[in-house]
Amino acid sequence: MSLQIALLLLMRYLASTLAQYELCKSLVSTDEGSVWEHYACQPKPASMKDYMRIKVDPPGITCGNPPERFCTLENPYLCSDECDASNPDLAHPPQLMQDRERNSLITYWQTVTWRRHPEPLLANITLSWNKSLELTDDLHITFEYGRPTIMVLDKSMDHGRSWQSYQYYADDCLDAFNMQPKRVQDLTATNITKVICTEQYSRWVGSKNEKNVKFEVRARFAVFDNLLRLLRPSLGGTYVQRDNLLKYFYAISNIDIPARCKCNLHASQCLLVDGNLQCQCEHNTTGQDCERCKKGFKAKSWKAGSYLPTPNGTPNTCTYPKSICYGHSNRCSYIDYLNIVTCVSCKHNTRGQNCQHCRLGYYRNATAELDDESVCVECNCNQMGSVHDRCNGTGFCQCKEGASGVKCDECVSGYYWKQGCYPNVCDEEMLLCQNGGTCYQNQKCICPPEFKGVLCQQSRCEAGKDCNGASSVHLSTALLLLCTLLPTYLLPRQ
Ligand SMILES: *[C@@H]1O[C@H](CO)[C@@H](O)[C@H](O)[C@H]1NC(C)=O
Ligand SMILES: *[C@@H]1O[C@H](CO)[C@@H](O)[C@H](O)[C@H]1NC(C)=O
Ligand SMILES: *[C@@H]1O[C@H](CO)[C@@H](O)[C@H](O)[C@H]1NC(C)=O
Ligand SMILES: *[C@@H]1O[C@H](CO)[C@@H](O)[C@H](O)[C@H]1NC(C)=O
Ligand SMILES: *[C@@H]1O[C@H](CO)[C@@H](O)[C@H](O)[C@H]1NC(C)=O
Ligand SMILES: *[C@@H]1O[C@H](CO)[C@@H](O)[C@H](O)[C@H]1NC(C)=O
Ligand SMILES: [Ca+2]
């Protein structure tokens, strides 16, 4: 075992003995008003025998059906006691292992006697809670009429599907299990989780002198269902006497299990709900052991709380995903099997599964908070100047050729604006209007009457001919005819 685990076990042990981690949260006043502070927390230890479900095996192991007589080890010839399942005063059913005894009347579960010797007298007692528990103190089992000479304590981490031995008990460990006898006191931090066989609780010292069998918790932390396998009853310190088998049987009057619900440091209460123990989970966790994050609170993966740093530990709260544009939809739902949150009817120009993006044609306002109504700003791209109405993350539109500016509502040099950007027709530098023409807003040359062409570069008359500045081609032709055919009639009158 690594030092880290040893330290962890030690921490847990200390934590279980100190009255700490009882509060999950408290209201603390700060400069900005009252705020909740969250802490690692756990339920108080309780006597878990009250909640325990007991099953004994094999069927018919409980005495009294049919009724039978039994003797005692101390006085094997006084056999007047009787077990009768049909008589409440003489019955010894399993629930007498967990009852609260009143008026110092000891009540106990009792098995049939070892009449079938040499066939072994075996009995299993399964203790279950349908809830993970953590032992906080030693487990005590009280045997009337002597403690078993051989037994095993098993644990299950999977609600009874599989079992591992937890501790072996025998009056002779080598003989019963071929194991060296050890005591829990011999265990040190480096081998504390080792499974041992102990002879401490199986030796015959008289049935009245010592009734208890313990499982010492110390730092050996336990989370389990228990199975007590009783393999051989008390023999009264000698060999089996075959002529009186009625004095051999098991009888248990009490099983004490001081434990707390395992809530992964996310609950300070553990209550009985519909017959099952249930952690009252905080920190936005849920589940019987607070072993997962609540719907929607899955921004990061679930973690158990931590005892460190002292004194309040770390709650490791489950949180709402930060990427959600929180508040832009009141119709978000959690899809369990996909483990995602999805929203419909995103408002405020948001879109996406969590309303976490801006709609097309909008961009993210970098100075606004995610939950601000103005988080998405319209791109406002100029319809004539831009390729489409979408913009990039900082609001820049995509411009057509010749257009420029954030919104594409300006033209680069060499272009003029007229419902979009067009290449200049004329200017004052390269594309000068000729022959006294003037450039009108880079769009066209305004030519004198005798000139034409884009830059007024072309004369309206043939070289050497006298032309006036009529603008119509037909009129010009007519004038040309007149010039040619009727000069003598017209010109002298002018
Ligand atoms: C007791 O439990 C063990 C482990 O599950 C099993 O192997 C054994 O058969 C059981 N004995 C009786 C008497 O039910
Ligand atoms: C165990 O507990 C869970 C949660 O409380 C419950 O849903 C389930 O039915 C219980 N099982 C039994 C066998 O009682
Ligand atoms: C545990 O370790 C100690 C010393 O490190 C040793 O004395 C003891 O026998 C060990 N116990 C077992 C059960 O191995
Ligand atoms: C649950 O999560 C919300 C949102 O992240 C947070 O404001 C709240 O404090 C959490 N509650 C607890 C009990 O931790
Ligand atoms: C961005 O958000 C801030 C804060 O809400 C707001 O003052 C500002 O006007 C917003 N900018 C635009 C371009 O809408
Ligand atoms: C948006 O486009 C402008 C101009 O091309 C560029 O300077 C800016 O970095 C771009 N922003 C993003 C977020 O891509
Ligand atoms: Ca009892």
Residue closest by Cα to atom 4 of ligand 6: 396
Q: 353 C-alpha vs ligand 1 centroid, how far in Å?
A: 53
Predicted TM-score (pTM) above 0.85: no
Atom of ligand 2 nearest to the CA of 275: 14
Q: Tell me the one-letter amino acid at 197.
A: C
Q: What is the SS3 string spanning the chain?
A: CCHHHHHHHHHHHHHHHCCCCCCCEEEEEECCEEEEEECCECCCCEEHHHHCEEEEECCCCECCCCCEEECCCCCCCCCCEEECCCCCCCCCCHHHHCCCCCCCCCCCEEECCCCCCCCCCCEEEEEECCCCEEECCCEEEEECCCCCCEEEEEEECCCCCCCEEEEEEECCHHHHHCCCECCHHHCCCCCCCCCCEECCCCCCCCCCCCCEEEECCCCCCCCCEEEEEEEECCCCCCCCCCCCHHHCCCEEEEEECEEEECCCCECCCEEEECCEEEECCCCCEECCCCCEECCCCCCCCCCCCECCCCCCCECCCCCCCCCCCCCCCCCEEEEHHHCEEEECCCCCCEECCCCCEECCCEEECCCCCCCCCCCEEECCCCCCCEEEEEECCCCCEEECCCEECCCCCEECCCEEECCCEEECCCCCCCCCCCCCCEEECCCEEECCCCEECCCCCEECCCCCCCCCCCCCHHHHHHHHHHHHHCHHHHHHHC
Atom of ligand 2 nearest to the CA of 274: 5
Q: 15 C-alpha vs ligand 4 centroid, how far in Å?
A: 25
For 46-260, CATH gives 2.60.120.260
| Cα–Cα distance, 46 to 101 (Å, whole number) | 18
Residue 486 has a pLDDT of 42
Residue 38 in contact with ligand 4 by CB distance below 6 A: yes
Among all ligands shown, which has an atom nearest to the Cα of 100? Answer: 7
Decide which of 355 and 265 is more confident: 265
pLDDT tens, residue by residue, 197-213: 999 999 998 888 899 99
Q: If 0-12 CB within 10 Å is exposed, 13-18 middle and 19+ buried, where does residue 263 land? A: buried
CA angle, 240 then 245 then 246, to 5°: 140
| Cα–Cα distance, 132 to 464 (Å, whole number) | 116
pLDDT band for position 32 (cuts 50, 70, 90): confident
Model confidence at 19: pLDDT above 60 = no
Residue 15 has a pLDDT of 59
Q: 392 C-alpha vs ligand 6 centroid, how far in Å?
A: 6
Among all ligands shown, which has an atom nearest to the Cα of 399? Answer: 6
Residue 250 in contact with ligand 4 by CB distance below 6 A: no
Among 276, 281, 286, 288, which is best to mutate for testing ligand 2, by the most ligand atoms less than 8 A from CB? 276
Model confidence at 20: pLDDT above 70 = yes
Per-residue tokens: 476:
């010009």
Q: 25 C-alpha vs ligand 7 centroid, how far in Å?
A: 39
Q: 191 C-alpha vs ligand 3 centroid, how far in Å?
A: 6
Atom of ligand 5 nearest to the CA of 377: 14
Bridge-based pairing of strands 150-156 and 139-143 is: unpaired
Mean pLDDT of 123-130: 93
- The class (CATH top level) of 427-461 is mainly beta
Among all ligands shown, which has an atom nearest to the Cα of 392? Answer: 6
Range(s) of the chain covered by CATH 2.60.120.260: 46-260
Residue 353 has a pLDDT of 77
Range(s) of the chain covered by CATH 2.10.25.10: 3-43+264-318, 427-461
Atom of ligand 5 nearest to the CA of 366: 1
Mean pLDDT of 225-249: 88
Residue 366 in contact with ligand 6 by CB distance below 6 A: no
| Cα–Cα distance, 115 to 245 (Å, whole number) | 6
pLDDT band for position 494 (cuts 50, 70, 90): very low
pLDDT tens, residue by residue, 364-385: 888 887 667 888 999 999 999 9
Residue 396 in contact with ligand 6 by CB distance below 6 A: yes
* Cis, peptide link before residue 66, omega less than 30° from 0: yes
Among all ligands shown, which has an atom nearest to the Cα of 407? Answer: 6
Q: 110 C-alpha vs ligand 7 centroid, how far in Å?
A: 11
Residue closest by Cα to atom 5 of ligand 1: 163
Residue 477 has a pLDDT of 41
Model confidence at 24: pLDDT above 70 = yes
| Cα–Cα distance, 129 to 277 (Å, whole number) | 8
Q: Which CATH architecture has domain 3-43+264-318?
A: Ribbon (2.10)
Please state the length of the chain.
Answer: 494
| Cα–Cα distance, 3 to 258 (Å, whole number) | 27
Average pLDDT, the chain: 85
Residue 227 has a pLDDT of 83
* Cis, peptide link before residue 58, omega less than 30° from 0: yes
Q: 159 C-alpha vs ligand 1 centroid, how far in Å?
A: 15
Among all ligands shown, which has an atom nearest to the Cα of 319? Answer: 4
Residue 392 in contact with ligand 6 by CB distance below 6 A: yes
Residue 236 has a pLDDT of 84
Residue 320 in contact with ligand 4 by CB distance below 6 A: yes
Query: Phi-psi bin for 454: left (phi > 0), alpha (psi -120 to 50), beta?
Result: alpha
Residue 57 in contact with ligand 3 by CB distance below 6 A: no
Per-residue tokens: 355:
């309303």
pLDDT tens, residue by residue, 67-107: 999 999 888 888 889 999 999 999 999 999 999 998 889 99
8 A C-beta contact, residue 447 and residue 456:
yes
CA angle, 235 then 239 then 245, to 5°: 60
